[in-house]
Structure formats: structure tokens, C-alpha cells
Amino acid sequence: MTNHQPRSKISLKSGNLTNEQLPEYTVRVSDRAKCVRLSISVEDGLEVVIPNNYDHKKIPEIVQNKRDWIIRNQLKLAQREAFLQSQAPHELPDHLNLRSLNQEWQIEYQQVSTKSRLVKIQESKAPLKLTVTADINDIEACKFFLKQWLIQKADRHFLGCLSRISNRTKLPYRAMTVRSQKTLWGSCSRDRNISLNYKLLFLEAAVVEYVLLHELCHTVHMNHSDKFWNLVNKFEPNYKLLDKSLNQAWKLIPAWLDLEGAAKLRPQD
Ligand SMILES: [Zn+2]
């Protein structure tokens, strides 16, 4: 999995905890959890997910052991939140910079009064332009249809990319789906189905190719073992730098897309 650094409303102050203090957290018992899991999200703050029958007395020690991770990520999330809020996230976008396609689309809005929430999006080339015909006061509907347009673009583009890399590396996969994932750039299931986040469109082509290769390598190793990284290295010797660049890549995602729903961070990613 390639993880995504999400945003959070957690304040910067949480980075100044003294040694004795534990960060505040909530505990959730989950039928599906096999082991203890920590996550940080906008909606839930720091959450400790435990399996059924787990001894609650052990939790403070687990949280204490994960202190550095928690503090580090609370800071990261707070910085991200500040950045997003500075990007006018509640307004409609006037352009889309799809770095992976090397395409910058300008967006023009044409107001029509309509009772339905239908939004029409027309493409024109040279220069690249999207004409959005809608009731532009219905910001949610406009955003929804722009997002659908992005998902379709991603679907067409990534399918070609993935089969090209799959052929080159001789790492076959079963199917590819483009999704709006909140926490991940991509994932690969046991039966070799690859899911990709449409927001990858906003990242540089080299980084996107790395994410696709990363997921293809998971068709052989379902983990991040040395064997897995050796396989990645065989096809992309520059993988460490590319992987690291993903930590900052959220800055390239327009804030109006990122403010939907909560994203989660897990120490296991
Ligand atoms: Zn992975």
C-alpha cells in the first residue's frame, strides 16, 4: 500500500506534550480487528482500535510506546490543515493541473438556472478548457461532477499506464479500479486486483509510475519485506526518493477535493 498523509483538525499544541502526559484517545472495539491498531483522523482524533476480549489495561502502555509516532503525525496533520485552509477549499476551482498527464485545464463556468442538479461538462482542446454549465450556486453539484470527470480521466489514463508497466515488468494483475480513496494512493488485493486513487492525476508522471509499480510488486509480495523492496528496486532503482516524495504529495491535491470526508493515518502504513 502506498499511504497518503491526510489532514486533521488536531491542534499544533498537541506537539508540546510533556513526558508524563499521554495524548487523548478513544477506544473502539472491533470484531474485525486482529491486533491493536492506532489511527489519527479528522473526525475521531486519536483512536485505538482493539479486538474483542482485549485487555483494556494494556492500552495506555501501547499509546505510550507510540508517542513519537503520534506527536510527529499530529504535527504533520496540523500543518496540512493550515495549508488546506489557506487554499480557499470552499470555492469552485478555476483550473486543474493534471501533472501526470502534463495537462493544465482551465475551467469556465456558465450559469444556467435549473431545478435539477445536473451539471454539463464540455471539453475543448488547444487551449485545454472545461466548460461547466450548471447552477453555479450549487457548489456541491459542480464539485461532484468535476470529480466524476476526474475519475473517468484517471480510469482511461491509468489503465494504459498499468498495462504498459505490467508488460514491461512481467507482473500480471487481474483488474484495475479507480477509486476515491481517502487514505491510500493505491492498494493491491490478494487476488491481484489493483485500486488506484484518482487523485494521482495531480502528481508527477514519474511518481505515478512508481505507485503503479509498487502495487504491481505487491502481486508477488503482499508486504513491505526486503524481498518486496528488492523487487521494486529491480525495476525502479530510484524508488526511495519517489516513495519519500509521496509524503509531501498531498500539497499537489487541490484543497476543494481534499476536504471531503476524513482521512486516516495508521502507523502500520
Ligand atoms: Zn505497499
Per-residue pLDDT in tens (0 to 9) along the chain, 269 residues: 665 433 322 333 334 445 556 778 899 999 888 888 898 876 678 899 999 989 999 999 999 899 888 888 888 888 777 777 777 777 899 999 999 999 999 999 999 987 788 899 999 998 999 999 999 888 889 999 999 999 999 999 999 999 999 999 999 999 999 998 777 899 999 999 999 999 999 999 999 999 999 999 999 999 999 999 999 999 999 999 999 999 888 889 988 886 543 334 444 33
Task: Give distance in angstroms: CA of 265 to centre of ligand 1.
Answer: 14
- The last residue of one of the domains, among 36, 61, 85, is 85
102: left (phi over 0), alpha (psi -120 to 50) or beta: left
- Ligand 1 centroid vs 3 CA: distance in angstroms? 8
User: Taking Cα atoms as reference points, which of 40, 44, 45, 46 lies closest to residue 5?
Assistant: 40
CA 13, 37, 246: angle at the middle one, nearest 5? 65
Quote the pLDDT of residue 75: 83
| 203, β-bridge pairs | none
- Closest by CA to 145, choosing from 177, 65, 136, is 136
- Cα(247) to ligand 1 centroid in Å equals 14
Q: Is residue 134 part of a domain?
A: yes
For residue 267, give Cα distances in angstroms to 46, 72, 154, 155.
Answer: 12, 11, 28, 30
Of 51, 85, 119, the one marking the end of a domain is 85
* pTM of this structure: 0.72
**CA pseudo-torsion sign 54, 60, 65, 71:** positive
130 and 30 belong to one structural domain: no
Q: Say whether both 234 and 101 belong to one domain.
A: yes
Distance 206 CA to ligand 1 centre (A): 17
Rounded distance from Cα 228 to ligand 1 centre (Å): 9
What span, in angstroms and rounded, lies between the C-alpha atoms of 1 and 195? 10
CA of 49 to the centre of ligand 1 (A): 22
Q: Dump strand ranges (E) for 135-209.
A: 175-179, 184-188, 193-197
Q: Given 39, 67, 85, which residue is the final one in a domain?
A: 85
Q: Return d(Cα 213, Cα 228) in angstroms, integer.
A: 11
DSSP state of 267: T
Q: Count of domains in the chain? A: 2
- CA 218 / ligand 1 centre spacing (Å): 7
pLDDT at 251: 84
Q: What's 244's domain CATH number?
A: 3.30.2010.10
Measured in Å, residue 226 CA sits from the centre of ligand 1 at 12
What's the pLDDT score for residue 1? 65
Q: Ligand 1 centre from 153 Cα, in Å?
A: 24
Residue 210 corresponds to which amino acid?
A: Y
Determine the distance separating the centroid of ligand 1 and the alpha carbon of 184, expressed in angstroms: 10
Residues 126 and 249 in one domain: yes
Predicted pLDDT at 259: 57
**80 and 105 co-located in one domain:** no
Residue 47: C-alpha distances to residues 36, 71, 213, 237, 258 (Å): 10, 14, 32, 37, 21
Kindly state whether residue 258 falls inside one of the protein's structural domains: no
Domain ranges, residue 140: 95-253
User: Which residues does 88 contact at the CB level (< 8 Å), separation at least 6?
Assistant: 255, 256
**Residue 107 in contact with residue 132, Cβ under 8 Å?**
yes
Domain match, 144 and 183 both: yes
**Ligand 1: distance of its center to the CA of 109 in Å?**
39
